[in-house]
Structure 1
Amino acid sequence: MELRQLKTFALIAKLGSFVQAADRLGYAQSTITNHIQILENEMGVRLFERLGHRVMLTNQGKSLLPYAEQVIKLTSEALTITANTDDLQGKLTIGTGESLGTYRLPGVFQTYRRAYPKVEMILKFASCTTICDRIRNNEIDVGIIINDKIIGDDLIVENISDEQMLFLTAPDHPLALKKIITPHNLAETCVILTEPGCSYRSSVERILKDCRVSPQSFLEASSIETIKQLIMLGLGISMLPRFTVEKELAEGRIHAICWDGPIPNYKVQMLYHKDKWISPILQSFLGTTREYLFGNRD
């Protein structure tokens, strides 16, 4: 049996749900089921019973649970001891997008740097697809992305947070004066897009295609800061995560319209390869990121 199987088993026991455990761990449900089947085959017993929509431990499962929890706890402690965190050093390559790298992750990097000053952090800005590919090619140790839920049998994906996406204009833009905006109203204005390959752009283009809407024109920019300036100048409408415009919204320099249309369900996700060795450096970064991002939610 493997540690990840025991972690899966313990989380299902805690949540009482295969579906919720799969979502929490970022696994496909088939992977969760496979973990439990392997454990049950190795032990020769059933660990869970399904009663309607409820999942309950069998007597054998109840007996295994404290041992699984103890193994997980001891493994975590062993990693902490052997890491020699007082002198942790080496390289860590992190892949992320510009919006997270600019607005969400600097605090993570600062916290990590203070704790592990000898670790060399290399930050790579790239699209979600490129980050996943580079993780598979072992060019990036860990990725932190914002996108629809990433599913891949070769990736470990942890869901960190759900993020609100907003359609944004200048306060004096004609669309800002309307009570409700539908996708068809986008035909009245310029739509400001991020660069090709960015998930924000793909989502907006999909909305326009599905609703058969052709804007007056498009304006493309590769920088979130540039897009914000273009919005404030009244040059068009764009879709960005709320966390990138919190300051401008509070100051009244950007207006979030009341959008009556499809909107992507984006999540901040942390991912690495399922076969990746979780080195003390990577383990410490994963822990720091979880603690910081979970602890600094609104």
Structure 2
Amino acid sequence: MEIRQLQTFKTVADLNSFTKAAQTLQYSQASITSHIQQLEDQIGLPLFDRLGKHIQLTMAGQELYQYVIELLAVYSKIQHISSDNMSMKGEIRIGAAESITVYKLGKVISEYKKNYPDVTFSLMNDDCLPLRERLYSGEIDIAITLEPKVNDQNLITQVWSEEPLVFIGETNHTFSTIEDANGECIIFSPKTCALRQFFEAYLIRNSINTYNHLEFTSMEAIKQCVMSGLGITLIPYLSVEALLREDKMKVIKSSSEHPSFYAQISYHKNKWLSKAHQKFIEMALTDK
């Protein structure tokens, strides 16, 4: 019985899918199936019921899952054993919002890797709600989101920075305020994105029509569409600061609000943080 087989088992159970587990762990689906079959052969019992396209843990699988959580927690601690900060080892699994990754996180990770080269990083980008789900499932250690202040009693959350939001349109737009843009095409991020939810609520609150809209998963695609005159959007200022300086787009003023989000670092309250995790959080929070 190998650690990787147990990691595979937990990931399949958390995601309820062999296919998603393969994508997350970057294994082939055949490898995922092989790991589970090897575990089942060693235990002598099926761990999952295969119900057509759906799977669920058997009684044996549920019992094993509890032991695997404990074992992997201990394994994580063993990986991070070190005599001092200079010999820190292990892995840090981070999930972050796209804007955070592009405009804030790169500098921190680069500096960290220079100081602690034996620590490895895995980094995935996602929206705020999916990132919190990944924290709960144990798929990531730390989530860095850009959204209103998080209030979740199961998470430890620290504010990294306050980030203003701006309404933007093409360079030649003639709107005095965002309210004057009623009927204009609105460019949204996905529905799982906190920015989308905030933007929609703002528009509804100010009686601005949203029937004419586009939706993109990429912040870069949204910016390109705005510059091309396809519509208007709400976006973190840090992600368009350079484009605004270069007059490639233009801010649309708001007559009622000056919204802000917060870059926040979160981890589950029951998550054991190694020295490597603690040092990363410390370095990020001191980099304003």
Q: Could you say whether these structures have the same fold, taking a TM-score greater than 0.5 normalized by the shorter chain as the test?
A: yes
> Is 1:238 aligned to 2:228, yes or no?
no
The residue identity in structure 1 corresponding to 2:153 is: D
Aligned residues: 208
Identity of aligned residues (%): 29
Instruction: Give 1:83 shift.
Output: 5.3
Q: Which runs of 5+ in 2 are unaligned?
A: 1-80
Cα 1:83/1:230, change in 2 over 3 Å: farther
Measured in 1, the distance between the counterparts of 2:210 and 2:155 equals 38
Question: C-alpha offsets along residues 57-80 of structure 1, whole Å, 9 cap, x if unaligned?
Answer: xxxxxxxxxxxxxxxxxxxxxxxx
Do residues 193 (structure 1) and 183 (structure 2) align? no
In the other structure, the counterpart of 1:107 is: 107
Matches for 1:201-212 after TM superposition, within 5 Å: 201-212=196-207
- Does the CA contact (< 8 Å) of 1:187 and 1:216 recur in 2? no
Contact 1:94–1:140 (CA under 8 A) maintained in structure 2: yes
Is contact 1:191-1:217 (8 Å) kept?
A: yes
Structure 2 equivalent of residue 145 of structure 1:
145
Aligned residue for 2:182, secondary structure, equals helix
1:155 aligns with 2:149: no
| CA RMSD across the alignment | 1.8
Aligned partners of 2:255, 2:162: CA distance in 1, in Å? 20
Identify unmatched segments of 5+ residues in structure 1.
1-80
Give the CA deviation at 1:213. Answer: 2.4
Superimposed CA distance per residue, residues 7-39 of structure 1 (whole angstroms, 9 cap, x where no aligned partner): xxxxxxxxxxxxxxxxxxxxxxxxxxxxxxxxx
Amino acid aligned to 1:118: D
- Which residue number in structure 2 is paired with residue 270 of structure 1? 265
Give the structure-1-normalised TM-score. Answer: 0.66
Give 1:249 shift: 0.8
In structure 2, the residue corresponding to 1:174 is in which secondary structure? coil
Matched ranges for 1:1-298 at <5 A: 84-175=84-175, 178=176, 181-183=177-179, 185-215=180-210, 217-292=212-287, 294=288
Asked if the contact 1:158–1:270 (Cα under 8 Å) also holds between the matched residues in 2, the reply is yes
Q: Given the superposition, is the C-alpha separation of residues 83 and 266 from structure 1 closer, same or farther in structure 2, using an over 3 Å criterion?
A: farther
Q: Which residue type is aligned with residue 203 of structure 2?
A: L
Q: Per-residue deviation at 1:209?
A: 2.1
Q: What amino acid is the match of 2:156?
A: I
Measured in 1, the distance between the counterparts of 2:82 and 2:136 equals 27
* C-alpha contact (below 8 Å) 2:166/2:259 kept by paired residues: no
Q: Secondary structure of 1:236's partner?
A: coil
Q: Would the aligned equivalents of 2:93 and 2:142 in 1 still touch at CA under 8 Å? A: yes
Q: Is the 8 A contact 1:170 1:234 kept in 2?
A: yes
> What does the per-residue CA deviation read over 1:86-125, in whole Å, with 9 as the maximum and x for residues that have no partner?
2222111001111111111111111111111121101111
| Contact kept in structure 1, 2:165 and 2:236, CA below 8 Å | yes
Matched position secondary structure for 1:104: helix
Who is 1:29 aligned against?
A: none
